[in-house]
DNA sequence: GATAATAGTTATTGACTATAACTATAATTC
DNA sequence: GAATTATAGTTATAGTCAATAACTATTATC
């Protein structure tokens, strides 16, 4: 059994149908992402960080000496775009960029003390933002969600 | 107990740490989205559709007579950006745009036969794409995932 | 009737992504 | 070991989508 869509009379009293998009996991994914992303953006903006810059910093802190190309791969970004991120991090003295001795094509990226401290603050800020927005999900649900998301991510190599 | 990050020697033999980003639901959301979105994009591209155009069409088909501003609201898009979508749909004769009689500021958008047929094809194409990429998830897992995503979306009004 | 609000439009900007072309170094192949 | 190929980083540029401001026409409100 199916219900035909009713023509709208322009007075806006009929509830809007969601459209076929709602059947897709991708659309639901995007809608949820569009809740968390702007919130995270606002959280790090207070520390004068953009999301890509924050992401770069977060990987460099945990991987002292990482090369830009490795960073790009890890974050699935183009090398050309990672350059801008690194420039920003270096200018703000959050990261140092030194020539590798074993391969002079490469740079070794290392977070400064200042970079580490700022990262800690940024992490805390995004945590607060997610805590607020994920209130309706239990810890188990959040874990389950991440597990399912990671299964999708893993499928990209299929 | 914590493990300090090991300095990298530049020979790339150490596995890269994920960085603090991975702790966030938002990051995992984005990574999964970045698997499904380009696939859906490629699927509808074969029908000469972009994702926003497809989304617009999908809502108009189910809501004959819908106004552009309602469409924008339903898809969480700016009115100014919806105009481009509608232009495209009208030019391709997938949708008709007629003045509302009760409120002459408004347009009434209605899908043509051609629009409905193209939507069916596009829906089928995205379905195939998602079926392939969501193979690792059971039907129950997919349902659970959407349920959790919708809880996040609902939190946007908090 | 004057004022404010809404619908649609246009132009423009910004953020992020993607591509191509280039230089330097290193790895390879003959 | 010289020539070729591949890799790392960079620059410039373009594309996509989202966001803002300013404008006109119409309707609603005071």
Q: Is the CB of A50 under 7 A from strand D?
A: no
pLDDT tens-place string over residues A47-88: 999 999 999 999 999 999 999 999 999 999 999 999 999 999
Q: What angle do CA A43, A49, A54 make, to 5 degrees?
A: 90
Residue B79 CA to nucleotide D23 C1', Å? 15
Domains plus CATH for chain B?
A: 24-152 (1.10.10.10)
pLDDT tens-place string over residues B105-152: 999 999 999 999 999 999 999 999 999 999 999 999 999 999 999 999
- What is the share, in percent, of chain B residues with pLDDT greater than 70? 91
In chain A the first and final C-alpha atoms are separated, in Å, by 37
Helices (H), ranges, A1-24: none
Q: Note every long-range contact of A86-89, with CB atoms under 8 Å and residues 24 or more positions apart, other chains counting.
A: A86/A56, A88/A50, A88/A53, A89/A53, A89/A56, A89/A57, A89/A60, A89/A115
Q: Could you tell me which chain A residue has the CA closest to the CA of B120?
A: A20
A48–chain B nearest CA distance, Å = 17
For chains A and B, CB pairs below 8 A equal 245
User: Hey, which residues does B95 pair with through a beta bridge?
Assistant: B111
| Cross-chain residue pair A19–B158, CB shorter than 8 Å | no
Q: Is the CB of A38 under 7 A from strand D?
A: yes
Q: Looking at the complex, does the CB of residue A74 fall below 8 Å from at least one CB of chain B?
A: yes
Residue A105 CA to nucleotide C23 C1', Å? 11
């Amino acid at each position: 059994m199916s219900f035909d869509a009713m023509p709208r009379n322009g007075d806006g009293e009929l509830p809007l149908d969601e459209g076929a998009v709602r059947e897709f996991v991708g659309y639901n994914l995007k809608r949820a992402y569009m809740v968390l992303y702007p919130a995270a953006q606002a959280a790090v903006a207070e520390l004068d960080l953009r999301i890509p810059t924050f992401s770069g910093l977060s990987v460099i802190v945990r991987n002292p000496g990482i090369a830009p190309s490795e960073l790009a791969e890890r974050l699935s970004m183009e090398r050309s775009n990672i350059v801008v991120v690194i420039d920003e991090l270096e200018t703000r003295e959050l990261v140092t960029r030194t020539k590798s001795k074993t391969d002079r094509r490469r740079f070794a990226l290392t977070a400064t003390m200042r970079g580490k401290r700022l990262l800690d603050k940024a992490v805390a800020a995004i945590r607060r933002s997610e805590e607020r927005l994920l209130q309706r999900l239990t810890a188990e649900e959040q874990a389950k969600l991440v597990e399912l998301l990671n299964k999708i991510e893993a499928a990209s190599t299929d």
